[in-house]
Structure 1
Amino acid sequence: MAAELYDAILKGDVTRFREVVQQDPYLVESASFACSRNVVHIAALRGQASIVEEVLNINPQLARDLDSQQSSPLHIAVAKGSLEIVKKLLSVAPEACWWRDCHDMNPIHIAAMKGHDEVLKVLLEESHMPAMERLHRGQTVLHLCVKHGQLDALKVLVVELGEFVFAVDDDGETLSHLAVRSNQLEILRYLGASNKIRRGKRNSMGKTALKILIQSRPPAWPAPSYWEMWRILRGFSVLSFLPNMSDVVMVVAILIATMAFQNTVTPPGGVWQDDTPSHKAGEAVIAYTHPDIYKDLVFYNNMAFYLSFSAIFIIISGLTSRFPSISYAVGSAMWLSIMFIIFSYKSSIKVISPNTFDTPLIGYYIHIAAIIAVMLVVTREFFRFSVVIMRQRDV
């Protein structure tokens, strides 16, 4: 009878299962198979949700039995990724989420390691607390995801566990340390994009994740993944010295755009107030008195306005967070718009103070030197970034 019961479970034959149980009502409870598993263990192992439901209706206590590996039916169902069976077992034995098998892992640990993200979501709905349980050497369930390259499961846990993502193990290593050691580029890319990397964090050996990456560089020319990891961990940016680049650039861009707009609609020298054969009311006076300077002034104001407006649009669109290389374009646009607004200021001074530049002034030369220095810095930063990109393409 036990063999017939086992065969019915393997085939998922509910009708035959019921017939066998009717012949021997105590067989469901007394039957024991390999590794001390009961009928629920076997049904979960084979993914037979209908059989699991039948057994639980007869005796829900069987969901709490452990096999020789200290695994409950929930452990097995989670390992197999059987979402329907997991839900049925949780309804009668939710406490099994806390139980650990012979490998010291609870069902949430197993779901994360196997990458069963939908099962993981169901388990977390029951309770977040088992996910906080530590593994060998203090590793968290998030470390387990990184170690086994389970990005989808990691995304679920990062959303659900919040600041727990920054937890370190007994060696003081964060997720980024382990991602570098395991060569998990996709995971490191996700951590960087979601701002879950503490770049200055050192492990018990005093090493940051970037230091580990540099020391592990192969003797031959590194693969593209090495350079991308380096960029993510370095946090490389033209304006990386700013605590919050987007907010600061947004304020500066709005200010420059406002200045350029104001200088265009209210040019130095004002506008004509009346119509005459030579001009019309509302036209800029300097367009007639200083036509060359006026053309330069309009050009400078237009460039400053459009560059600032472009930077504002890119920041609002969120492209700088998704594509870090775009931050270089935004930073360069801001530097150029600043220089154009300086040129606009100089042209305005020529109109309202025509004798200012008759004799060389030290301030004028300092101004030119500062512009050249800024351009050199921007060019150098672009060159450094281009070198990294070219190395990736050449490999």
Structure 2
Amino acid sequence: MILIKIGLEGMVEEMQGKLKEAAVEGNVIALLRLLEEDKFVLDGCAPGCFTETPLHISAMLGHLEFTRKILFRKPEFAKELDFLGSSPLHLAAANGHLEVVRTLLSVNPDMCFAQNLDGRNPLHIAVIKGRVDVLKELVQNKPEAVLHRTTRGETILHLCVKYFQLEALKLLVETVKDYGFINSRDEDGSTVLHLAVADKEIEIISFLIMETEIEVNAMNASGFTALDIALAQGRRNRKDIDVQDSLHQVGAFSSAKDLSSTAHRSEAVRGMISLRSDDHFTSLQTRLRRKYRRRQNYRLGDRRNALMIVASLIATMAFQAGIRPPGGFWQEDLHDQPTSKAHEAGRSIMADKLPAAYNKFVLHNSIAFLASLSVILLLISGLSFKRGLSMWILMGILWVAITESTFTYLISIYCLSSRPQRRAYVCVCGCTHGGDVWVVELSSCWALCPLDCQVSKKVSEAKGSSSFVTVSHSNAVSVNNRSMKNDN
């Protein structure tokens, strides 16, 4: 019974693997073939287990016909959630597959209200990704879904501003013409205008104050208006000036009453903005760091593969040259001849005819063989080679193997050539190899020079930015001190 159970589980896993492969490829023929073999193959995707169904895969990749076939046989798959709480509609909306979205909505339009682990429904995902056509389709089917908030208390309008999606914001404002909707607040009591001013999104600010009924002087939970946030950022560049002028033109005012409250407001708002900027900077820095690490890992993987291939080729060539030296072997024993002509079967002809050259041949070939084997051993040993020094050591060992292989080749050419041609062949091969080495060295130096320049430039920029921050902080402190003296 145990063996039968194991066999059945193996068959089920194999069928599920084929089903997922068909979903990835969008292969309808393969799906129909699997259904002919086992009409319950789709039932193997256990419902309600937060697993990825074939419908999740086809919806994410935009395979329309495959999606239709799955929904025709299993319409309940439209309600299934994966391990992140995302439905097929979430994935189709995120990737902008409009026809797939329409197909899913025709089966179950209520999935517009489904929320993932972050509390985001498909409309939120469409806004974040900037899929305006998909957003329009979703809003037309379930306009009530735009009122849902995320787990952080953000409305869909706040997501538009947070992710710089002006077109999506325009569509939502034109579709849902409601005063309370445009003036909705997040968990910090901030309206979308507060966020837009904090991020200096001048186009969104202009749209909000000119085309909507946004409350320009609304205060957030800390008692700050949008103008408070703008004034706290100063007038350091053209964007700051444009933001403040735009707010002044529509009658925006500050919540501060006197100089002391102005200083307090500036410090508090600056702290709020710095926290928001730090969050953005930290997330951006994290994304850039991850992207850099992935790129470095890809490059390291490519280098490791290249080193493994070259080392394997050199080891193979050195092994073949060792067991089959140039000139071949004696085929028979010959002992009744003078000592100079006597030989044994299986011995190298080159060792008898040119013993000095043969010794050099064996020496260089053995070094090449052992060096390439050491590279292979280090690569397969599982040691970490993420640092550049380790890679350079491996490349140095491989250079030794390549050079020794070149000497082995030169000795072979020398032994196999006639006497008048030996020097010419050896000189040509030696000069060619030397030229290759010089070209590689010059290329490496040429590649390293711009890198050094970039590193120096980044270091100088970092020093300049740190000094700017220090000066700005000292200036802010001096301004606050002067304002406090005036109050006294």
Please indicate the TM-score interval, normalised by the length of the shorter structure.
Answer: 0.5 to 0.7
* Greater RCO structure (CA 8 Å; 6+ sep): 1
* Residue correspondence of structure 1 range 90-101 to structure 2 within 5 A: 90-101=105-116
**Compared CA separation, residues 223 and 29, structure 1 to 2 (3 A):** farther
More deviation in 203-212 or 227-236? 227-236
Residue 186 (structure 1) aligned with residue 200 (structure 2): no
Residue 50 (structure 1) aligned with residue 71 (structure 2): no
Task: Tell me the equivalent position of 2:76.
Answer: 61
Q: Is the contact made by 2:113 and 2:145 (CA closer than 8 Å) also made in structure 1?
A: yes
Cα deviations by residue, 1:267-307 (Å, 9 ceiling, x for unpaired): xxxxxxxxxxxxxxxxxxxxxxxxxxxxxxxxxxxxxxxxx
Aligned to 2:176, the other structure's residue is in SS state: helix
Q: Give the drift of 1:236.
A: 6.1
Q: Give the drift of 1:89.
A: 0.7
Q: Is the contact made by 1:29 and 1:62 (CA closer than 8 Å) also made in structure 2?
A: no
Q: Distance in 1 between matches of 2:190 and 2:139?
A: 25
Superposition RMSD on alpha carbons, in Å? 2.2
**Compared CA separation, residues 137 and 8, structure 1 to 2 (3 A):** closer
Q: TM-score, length-normalised on structure 2?
A: 0.46
Task: Tell me the equivalent position of 1:12.
Answer: 26
Q: Is the contact made by 1:40 and 1:52 (CA closer than 8 Å) also made in structure 2?
A: yes
Cα deviations by residue, 1:47-95 (Å, 9 ceiling, x for unpaired): 1111100101111111111112221111111111111111111111111
Task: Tell me the equivalent position of 1:216.
Answer: 233
Aligned to 1:138, the other structure's residue is in SS state: coil
Q: Is the contact made by 2:233 and 2:240 (CA closer than 8 Å) also made in structure 1?
A: no
Q: Give the drift of 1:118.
A: 0.8
Q: Distance in 2 between matches of 1:206 and 1:31?
A: 53
More deviation in 30-39 or 203-212? 30-39
Q: Give the drift of 1:223.
A: 2.0
| Equivalent residue in structure 2 for 1:41, among 45, 52, 56 | 56
* Residue correspondence of structure 1 range 57-136 to structure 2 within 5 A: 57-136=72-151
* Residue correspondence of structure 1 range 275-314 to structure 2 within 5 A: none
Q: Give the drift of 1:197.
A: 3.5
Q: Is the contact made by 2:209 and 2:250 (CA closer than 8 Å) also made in structure 1?
A: no
Q: Give the drift of 1:213.
A: 1.0
Q: Distance in 2 between matches of 1:103 and 1:123?
A: 19
**Compared CA separation, residues 32 and 10, structure 1 to 2 (3 A):** farther
Q: Give the drift of 1:169.
A: 2.2
Q: Distance in 2 between matches of 1:236 and 1:121?
A: 31
* Residue correspondence of structure 1 range 244-283 to structure 2 within 5 A: none
User: Percent identity between the aligned chains?
Assistant: 34
* Residue correspondence of structure 1 range 323-342 to structure 2 within 5 A: none
Aligned to 2:186, the other structure's residue is in SS state: coil
* Residue correspondence of structure 1 range 143-154 to structure 2 within 5 A: 143-154=158-169
The amino acid across from 1:126 in the alignment is N
Aligned to 2:220, the other structure's residue is in SS state: coil
Q: TM-score, length-normalised on structure 1?
A: 0.56
Q: Give the drift of 1:32.
A: 6.5
**Compared CA separation, residues 157 and 195, structure 1 to 2 (3 A):** closer
| Equivalent residue in structure 1 for 2:154, among 120, 139, 162 | 139
Q: Distance in 2 between matches of 1:214 and 1:39?
A: 53
Q: Distance in 2 between matches of 1:50 and 1:214?
A: 55
Q: Distance in 2 between matches of 1:18 and 1:236?
A: 63
| Equivalent residue in structure 2 for 1:235, among 239, 249, 252 | 249
Q: Distance in 1 between matches of 2:212 and 2:145?
A: 25
Q: Is the contact made by 1:32 and 1:39 (CA closer than 8 Å) also made in structure 2?
A: no
The gaps in structure 1 that reach 5 residues or longer are 241-395
Q: Give the drift of 1:17.
A: 1.9
**Compared CA separation, residues 137 and 14, structure 1 to 2 (3 A):** closer
Q: Is the contact made by 1:189 and 1:232 (CA closer than 8 Å) also made in structure 2?
A: yes
**Compared CA separation, residues 229 and 56, structure 1 to 2 (3 A):** same
* Residue correspondence of structure 1 range 185-204 to structure 2 within 5 A: 185-204=202-221
Q: Distance in 2 between matches of 1:231 and 1:51?
A: 54
Q: Is the contact made by 2:16 and 2:44 (CA closer than 8 Å) also made in structure 1?
A: no
Count how many residue pairs are aligned between Structure 1 and Structure 2.
235
Q: Give the drift of 1:196.
A: 3.8
Q: Distance in 1 between matches of 2:151 and 2:194?
A: 17
Q: Give the drift of 1:193.
A: 2.9
Cα deviations by residue, 1:219-260 (Å, 9 ceiling, x for unpaired): xx62221111112111169xx9xxxxxxxxxxxxxxxxxxxx
Aligned to 1:36, the other structure's residue is in SS state: coil
Q: Give the drift of 1:35.
A: 6.6
Aligned to 1:43, the other structure's residue is in SS state: helix
| Equivalent residue in structure 1 for 2:185, among 162, 168, 186 | 168
* Residue correspondence of structure 1 range 346-385 to structure 2 within 5 A: none
